[in-house]
């Protein structure tokens, strides 16, 4: 999720499926099936998505694996939007249904920014440190199965996994900051899954945490493990239930909660600052997220700034699924958001947003909008 940033509740149940079709650009994990606007549902508030896209469209997305994306056509559409033109998406963009090679449709989840208690100083009440980005952490694709590493003797070596970090592997890293302290590792895990958090300090101020990197180790969905153990069904395994299970089964070394956490080798690092205006968090793109308009995508597949149309039945306003037909802007990413047919919808700040985000694990159609010449 966020500024990750987002890693979302979807991170609990990473995985989905889709089938190939004779469409545009097969052979890269997905195909693009041209669609007609007349056959697609309308966005009930198209101006919201256009206003959001207008803020960032001057930066043309770089997408070597998406030759269909025309820079001149993008600039033309952006100019029209900047000039105040309405209906820019329908006039200047061609929709394509995203068809993953391994499933018939796309899979949607939700994420939010939680608020958790913490302190700028370590104490018995707040013992768990939140680490800033280590100076020796580097992104890489040179090590199989890893997305980051550390500089070692003569080259790169795998960065310590969660278990090693919990056991003190970062204690000797020079220049590594401890930004803030939380109640326990369950709260830290919550922040890491969501990719960000608002930390409420004892004096009432808010310290905002945003994604700054991760150790590059594989992500393991802990909720899936508990479902496989029969603790709950997939529908019952919400984020609050997972956090409660961790605490109830112990977070000290050797206890069940601790052992489960250690099975997720991925570990997220943050950047942080006192929040003076309580604004929405920034996504990994650097743009402020907008509830129910910003999505996290797989950045290996889609560059930030691309508009998409989601057509699905989702429980986005209440417990019952209802039509969700909106143009969304890719502004974030997350460790569990993997593959072309994955989108994580940002719901906003606080517990109410978390309730709605946590209920979202639904299939539907995802359309990529590409500018026309």
The pLDDT of 180-190, averaged and rounded, is 97
> Which H or E element spans position 189?
helix 185-194
**Quick one: pLDDT band at residue 153, thresholds 50, 70, 90?**
confident
pLDDT on residue 37: 96
pLDDT on residue 12: 54
C-alpha–C-alpha distance, residues 270 and 178, integer Å: 10
Q: What domains appear along the chain, each with residue ranges and CATH number?
A: 9-111+290-371 (2.40.40.10), 115-275 (2.40.240.50)
Any idea what DSSP says for residue 177?
Answer: -
pTM listed for this prediction: 0.75
pLDDT on residue 13: 52
Nearest to 293 by CA among 279, 303, 307, 304: 307
Say whether pLDDT at 18 is over 60.
no
Could you count the other beta carbons within 10 Å of the beta carbon of residue 125?
12
The 10s digit of each residue's pLDDT in 239-276 is 889 999 999 999 999 999 999 999 999 999 999 999 88
C-alpha–C-alpha distance, residues 67 and 92, integer Å: 17
Contact assessment for residue 182 and residue 199, using Cβ atoms and an 8 Å cutoff: yes
Please state, rounded to an integer, the average pLDDT across all residues of the chain: 90
Say whether pLDDT at 6 is over 70.
no
Any idea what DSSP says for residue 252?
Answer: S
pLDDT on residue 3: 38
The 10s digit of each residue's pLDDT in 41-79 is 989 898 999 999 999 999 999 988 899 999 999 999 999
Say whether pLDDT at 188 is over 50.
yes
pLDDT on residue 5: 38
C-alpha–C-alpha distance, residues 315 and 308, integer Å: 19
* Phi and psi based region of residue 4 (left: phi greater than 0; alpha: psi -120 to 50; beta: remaining): alpha
The 10s digit of each residue's pLDDT in 72-83 is 999 999 999 999
Say whether pLDDT at 22 is over 70.
no
Say whether pLDDT at 7 is over 50.
no
Tokens of 242: 């997972």
328 or 139: whose pLDDT is higher?
A: 328
Q: What angle do CA 299, 305, 311 make, to 5 degrees?
A: 85
Any idea what DSSP says for residue 18?
Answer: B
Strands in 268-275's sheet, in edge-to-edge order, are: 128-131, 178-182, 115-119, 196-200, 206-214, 268-275
Among all chains, which residue has been given the structure tokens 């104490």? 123
Residue 60 phi/psi, 5-degree rounding, is: -75, 125
Q: What is the dihedral of CA 204, 210, 216, 218, to 10 degrees?
A: 70
Q: What 3-state DSSP class applies to 353?
A: helix
């Amino acid at each position: 999720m966020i500024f990750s940033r987002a890693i979302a509740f979807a991170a609990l149940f990473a995985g989905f499926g889709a089938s190939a079709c004779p469409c545009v650009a097969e052979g890269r994990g997905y195909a693009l099936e041209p669609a007609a606007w007349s056959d697609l549902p309308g966005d009930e508030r198209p101006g919201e998505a256009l206003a959001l896209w207008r803020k960032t469209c001057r930066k043309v997305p770089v997408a070597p694996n998406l030759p269909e994306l025309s820079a001149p056509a993008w600039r033309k559409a952006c100019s029209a939007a900047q000039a105040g033109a309405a209906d820019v998406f329908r006039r200047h963009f061609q929709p394509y249904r995203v068809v993953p090679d391994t499933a018939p449709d796309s899979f949607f989840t939700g994420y939010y920014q939680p608020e958790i208690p913490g302190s700028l100083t370590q104490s018995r009440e707040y013992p768990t440190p939140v680490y800033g980005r280590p100076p020796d952490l580097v992104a890489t694709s040179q090590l199989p199965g890893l997305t980051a590493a550390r500089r070692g003797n003569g080259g790169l070596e795998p960065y310590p996994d969660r278990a090693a970090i919990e056991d003190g592997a970062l204690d000797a890293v020079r220049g590594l900051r401890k930004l803030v302290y939380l109640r326990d590792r369950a709260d830290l895990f919550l922040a890491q899954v969501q990719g960000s958090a608002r930390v409420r300090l004892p004096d009432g101020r808010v310290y905002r945490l945003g994604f700054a990197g991760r150790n590059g180790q594989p992500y393991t969905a802990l909720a899936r493990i508990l479902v496989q153990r029969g603790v709950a069904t997939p529908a019952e395994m919400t984020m609050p239930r997972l956090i409660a299970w961790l605490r109830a089964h112990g977070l000290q070394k050797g206890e069940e909660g601790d052992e489960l956490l250690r099975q997720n080798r991925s570990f997220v690092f943050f950047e942080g600052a006192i929040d003076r205006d309580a604004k929405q968090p920034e996504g990994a793109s650097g743009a402020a997220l907008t509830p129910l308009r910003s999505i996290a995508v797989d950045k290996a597949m889609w560059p930030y700034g691309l508009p998409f149309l989601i057509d699905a039945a989702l429980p986005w306003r209440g417990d019952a699924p209802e039509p969700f037909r909106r143009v969304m802007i890719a502004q974030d990413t997350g460790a569990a958001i993997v593959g072309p047919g994955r989108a994580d919808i940002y719901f906003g700040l606080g517990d109410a947003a978390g309730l709605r985000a946590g209920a979202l694990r639904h299939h539907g159609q995802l359309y990529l909008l590409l500018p026309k010449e």
